[in-house]
Amino acid sequence: DAGITQSPRYKITETGRQVTLMCHQTWSHSYMFWYRQDLGHGLRLIYYSAAADITDKGEVPDGYVVSRSKTENFPLTLESATRSQTSVYFCASSDNQIPGYEQYFGPGTRLTVT
């Protein structure tokens, strides 16, 4: 039972580069989410998806792009990375069948933009 996985786990990139963070879940959950975690801010929602080909902005979407061509994958792309995007990124999934709609989180990707 792999659950929810993220890759890479650690990434260092330069300002201006494009970088894609991958998220894969094996539960066939309909909902998937991307958060960033920064000291003093907790977790903030970047984008979420209700199903394949359905995505919507969260609290902090600027500078990010998502896609969801398959239910199990939800990649997050930083089109032109900036230092302010240095953060830990968590992917999560959920489903209407789960009581309370709790979310299950992946292990995170620590991204450093130099």
Residues that bind other proteins (CB under 8 A): 31, 33, 40-45, 48, 50, 58, 90, 92, 94, 99-108
Distance CA 47, CA 112 (A): 20
| Closer CB to other proteins, 1 or 42, in the complex | 42
Smallest separation (angstroms) from other proteins to the CB of 48: 7
Distance CA 101, CA 91 (A): 15
Distance CA 98, CA 101 (A): 5
Smallest separation (angstroms) from other proteins to the CB of 110: 10
Peptide bond into 8 cis (omega under 30): yes
Smallest separation (angstroms) from other proteins to the CB of 82: 23
